[in-house]
Amino acid sequence: MIREIISAMSAKGWRITDQRKSLAALFAESTGYLSPKDVYDYMRTSYPGVSFDTVYRNLRLLSEMGVLEQIYLNDGLKFRARCRSHHHHHLICVSCEKTIPFEFCPMKHMSNLPQDFRVVNHRFDILGYCEDCTSSGESRASEV
């Protein structure tokens, strides 16, 4: 995954700096979603001079490149490395942010799209509560 992220940066003409290698490693090793502040705090430990604006700009550019996916959860915008193995979608717990892949793709069943519209990409996420959060009562508390 690190090589894929770095390759995407290089293909766009980015200089591959130690900071960008660290950013790629962070997302390659992370299993969940990270907020821009999470990434900034991580980067600041090794690179105290890094600015929040620089981190945020890199996250947005990596997302536009298709390397990172982004989602708005209860506490704001979050990012994670895009799944590259095969086409699938996710169930995402809005409480603990656990992500569960599933293979069903609704695009295969959409027949009423305008004829002159060419789909180049799509996302389909289902937000809800995982079994752990439902059984611990977290889902009921946040719905009140």
Which of 29, 50, 81 is the last residue before a domain boundary?
A: 81
Across 13-22, 36-45, 133-142, the highest mean pLDDT is recorded for 36-45
Residues 17 and 35 in one domain: yes
* pTM for the whole structure: 0.74
Total tally of structural domains belonging to the chain: 2
SS (H, E, C) 6-58: HHHHHHCCCCCCHHHHHHHHHHHHCCCCECHHHHHHHHHHHCCCCCHHHHHHH
Q: 1 pLDDT band (50/70/90 cuts)?
A: confident
Average pLDDT along the chain? 86
Determine the structural domain holding residue 8 and report its residue range: 2-81
Confidence check: pLDDT of 144 > 50: no
Task: Identify the CATH number of the domain in which residue 111 sits.
Answer: 3.30.1490
- CATH code, domain carrying 18: 1.10.10.10
Summarised one tens digit per residue, pLDDT across range 74-122 is 788 999 888 766 777 888 888 888 888 888 888 878 888 888 888 877 7
